[in-house]
A and B are shown apart, each in its own frame.
Chain A
Amino acid sequence: MRLEAKRLDFGYRDKRVGSGVSLSLEAGEVLCLLGPNGSGKTTLFKTMLGLLPAQGGAVLVDDVDLRSRARDEVARLVSYVPQAHAAFFPFTVEEVVLMGRTAHLGVFSSPSRRDREAALAAISRMQIGHLADSVYTRISGGERQLTLIARALAQDARIIVMDEPTANLDFGNQVRVLQHIQSLAQSGIGVLLSTHDPDHAFICAHRVAMLHDGHLARLGAPSATITPDTLREIYGVEVAVVRVAVGEGVERPVCIPGGALSGGRH
């Protein structure tokens, strides 16, 4: 399966946010979107999910325009993990995950035992089984993020779009979420995520897209895309990218802020 933005213009009727973005994502692939605050990442995602109308160009799922599909049909193909948020009512974690099954239910139906099993399977896959009966409004931000990913899993779509899944998480939870993203990709799910940390792209992404002022500045393999030059261009800061050994014979690039921050001279 394939989610594709084709010369996509996105934004609102009275305010264009970005234009001419072409990128695509296969099931099983992790594509990481980088870009500074206000570069239009969230707006692009919402347009690719069909939540905002495309202002030009098109969003295609398996070469079929998103606009020609019903809302629940889209939801069975592409799921969405919004930034972990406050909920309005004290639903349990299990109930929140169960909401992911809605696209598979008739308009007048309630979740069946099979839906409940799917929800519980998603919960245990995210290793939050101990939280199933907890109230969503009373768990931590990291636990909410994992709950929302479990909900997207229960939705059973081949592609998951995650908006800054590591934002506002502590270090351990960031690593945990990145590991889950890797294992989702290994099981054949495509993940399109945005992040503020280029290191996260090195950890989990197959490809990186860089969004700058609403335009696609770079698209390619992480080590070819995330370089001191591109980071200076996008973020306006000096960054060194160095390779670090992270295990037996495994090296990974890491971004280290330089310039005025470089401090201690020898």
Chain B
Amino acid sequence: MTSARLPAALLGACAALLLLVAVAFAVGRFPVSAGDLASLLWARLTGAEHGLDPTIETVVMKIRGPRVAAALLIGAALAAAGAAYQNMFRNPLVSPDILGVSAGAAVGAVLGIFLSLNVIMIQSLAFAFGLAAVGLVYVTANAVRGHDPLLVLVLAGVVVGSLLGACVALMKYLADPYNQLPAITFWLLGSLASASPEDVWSTLPLMLLGLVPMWLLRWRINLLSLDDEEARALGVETGRIRLVVIAAATLMTSAAVAISGVIGWIGLVIPHFARLLVGPDFSRLLPTSILLGAGFLLGVDTLARTVARIEIPLGVLTAFVGTPLFLWQLATARRGWQ
């Protein structure tokens, strides 16, 4: 993988992303053409009159705009977190879902809905529980010695995940069946249908807060993928760096889960494809994962609201798309890792 491939890959991904955004606005019940979108945004920027139907403005600014922005943000965050987790746990098969972060964040967020808290509190609870879940998985995996560490990590994730699943089930059982239960159920399926401008604005800083340390530490994150003692012999304080990166990736995942529900597979599949495109160096892997993740979720979300008469839950669709991709990469790409 030479560095010359990076600009080409990034440019291609950016172009595809812009195209997807245009398509996302152009399809659905109130299609907005790329031209209308451009003149509306230009008018908003310059303060001039756009002379378009006010319905279009409402659709763009209040409904589809936030939804598109949320899809981009969440896809990017889940893919970035997945890339970081994969490097850190030295394994291309781990992801926020497998490590129990998503399940933990889901418990926190469901608890927030159950207690009728506001968005900020729901996000805080999601973060706290997500962090607790990944911590529990990591500690459990470290405590069990003498087995294949990866196997133990994945098993610990499955076990902790099922415990958290039981917690969610308990809260669903206790929830008010007319108001809270449907809200929790739809939310757990994963959806961006109710993404509001406030959701986007409250999540954006959290995403950036997670992304900035990841970008700053990008070179050291490469070394976290080495054997721990080897990385320390090369001068890296692995314990501290790992803690910061885990906190950052968990923050991004939890913030995403708090507004969209559990959307699986992105953190697993996207970083792997990014690695195939630009190689494992995190300074290239991170931007590529972000672009691909944003594009993937926007594409899937656009499908989710257009292919059928009713909206298909996002989590369902990413699983339908992600599972075959995952099986395919399991079957074909293992050679490249070892």
Contacts and interface: CB of A to CB of B under 8 A. Distances in A.
B227 A102 contact: no
B167 to A, nearest CB: 33
A44 to B, nearest CB: 14
A23 interface: no
Contact of B226 (A99, A108, A133): A99
Interface stretch (A58-66, A81-89, A211-219, A253-261): A81-89
Contacts of A107: 216-217, 220, 241
A2 B307 CA distance: 71
A86 B338 contact: yes
Contact of A111 (B1, B219, B233, B275): B219
A110 B218 contact: yes
A137 B338 contact: yes
B283 A71 contact: no
Given A75-B235, A92-B279, A108-B217, A80 B87 contact: no
B337 A90 contact: yes
B233 A79 contact: yes
Nearest to A74: B235
A111 B234 CA distance: 14
Contact of A99 (B232, B234, B336): B234
Contacts of A137: 336-338
A73 B216 CA distance: 21
B198 interface: no
B84 interface: no
B229 A51 contact: yes
A109 B237 CA distance: 14
Interface residues of B, number: 33
Interface residues of A, number: 37
A159 to B, nearest CB: 12
Contacts of A76: 235
A161 B171 CA distance: 56
Contacts of A110: 218-219, 283
A87 B226 contact: yes
A104 B297 CA distance: 39
Given A108-B216, A133-B2, A102 B229 contact: no
A200 to B, nearest CB: 23
A15 B50 CA distance: 77
B221 to A, nearest CB: 11
A100 B222 CA distance: 12
B223 interface: yes
A103 B234 CA distance: 6
B33 interface: no
Contacts of A111: 219
Given A71-B236, A99-B234, A103-B235, A89 B219 contact: no
Given A75-B233, A80-B230, A91 B217 contact: no
Contact of B222 (A85, A95, A103, A155): A95
B280 interface: yes
B90 interface: yes
B91 interface: yes
Contact of B281 (A72, A95, A100, A102): A95
A90 B219 contact: no
A242 B234 CA distance: 41
9 contacts: A87-B225, A90-B337, A92-B279, A95-B222, A95-B279, A100-B234, A107-B241, A111-B219, A137-B338
Interface of A: 46, 49, 51, 70-76, 79-80, 82, 85-92, 95, 99-100, 102-103, 105, 107-111, 133, 135, 137, 151, 155
Q: Which 8 A-B pairs have the closest CB atoms?
A: A103-B235, A75-B235, A80-B233, A72-B235, A89-B280, A88-B90, A108-B216, A110-B219
Interface of B: 1-2, 87, 90-92, 216-220, 222-223, 225-227, 229-230, 232-237, 241, 275, 279-281, 283, 336-338
